[in-house]
């Protein structure tokens, strides 16, 4: 309903060579859309149910371009369930400095989650991106053009735009491992 999920999905998997828009990081990947928010709000139990449902449906990688500063045991249990099933979980780190790097943002700060901050076009930490010792990786997150509502395309910025870059990369790596009959445990060892 806000276009956020559509934008994130396009960064991951927008199709190549279709004559419109751009191309996602992993254009051949299948997207399993799971709505856990209404507008920009939701509950931890809804997020946890979404994670568990995606695991049950056979998801290989889960992107969580959402979060907050409050720890949730129910979300941690769902993330741990995903990890135990070999599912990689990627999450955005937050779009505000939160007053310093010691304040954690969840679910990105949980064990078994790849926490993604954002860089600007020069490769520096984006001015809005949270950071901290618990962060794992940075990816492009400023003025990212992707799919939008009703067939449109739009530029947007945020760690929510950085996380799907890493999710797409994980999908490409998972496919490579699958095609070459290699163990994918490296993807879940975050």
pLDDT tens, 73-89? 999 999 999 999 999 99
Q: Of 12-26, 61-75, 98-112, 123-137, which gets the smallest average pLDDT?
A: 98-112
b/e map of 105-131 (b: 16 or more CB within 10 Å)? bbbbbbebbbbbbbbbeeeebbebbbb
Instruction: Give 184's pLDDT tier (boundaries 50, 70, 90).
Output: low
Identify each DSSP E strand in the chain by its residue range.
61-64, 88-92, 114-119, 137-140, 144-147, 153-156
> pLDDT tens across 56-76, in order?
999 999 999 999 889 999 999
Q: Is 60 exceeded by the pLDDT of residue 1?
A: yes
Which tens digits make up the pLDDT trace of 130-169? 887 888 999 999 999 999 999 899 999 999 999 999 999 9
For strand 137-140 and strand 114-119, is the pairing parallel, antiparallel, or unpaired? Answer: parallel
What is the per-residue pLDDT for 190? Answer: 47
Contact indicator for 153, 21 with CB cutoff of 8 Å: yes
Task: Give pTM, 2 decimals.
Answer: 0.90
């Amino acid at each position: 309903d806000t276009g956020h999920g559509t934008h994130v999905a396009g960064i991951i998997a927008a199709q190549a060579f279709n004559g419109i828009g751009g191309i996602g990081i992993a254009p051949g990947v299948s997207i399993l859309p799971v709505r856990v928010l209404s507008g920009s709000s939701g509950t931890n139990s809804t997020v946890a149910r979404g994670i568990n449902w995606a695991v049950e449906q056979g998801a290989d990688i889960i992107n969580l371009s959402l979060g907050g500063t409050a720890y949730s045991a129910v979300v941690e249990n769902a993330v741990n369930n995903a990890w135990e099933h070999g599912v990689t979980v990627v999450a955005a780190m937050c779009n505000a400095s939160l007053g310093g790097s010691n304040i954690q943002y969840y679910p990105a700060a949980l064990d078994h989650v790849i926490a993604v901050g954002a860089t600007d076009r020069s490769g520096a930490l984006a001015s809005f991106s949270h950071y901290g010792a618990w962060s794992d990786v940075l990816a492009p997150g400023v003025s990212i053009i992707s799919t939008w509502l009703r067939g449109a395309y739009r530029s947007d910025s945020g760690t929510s735009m950085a996380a799907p870059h890493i999710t797409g990369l994980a999908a490409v790596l998972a496919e490579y491992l699958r095609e070459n009959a290699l163990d994918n445990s490296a993807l879940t060892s975050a």
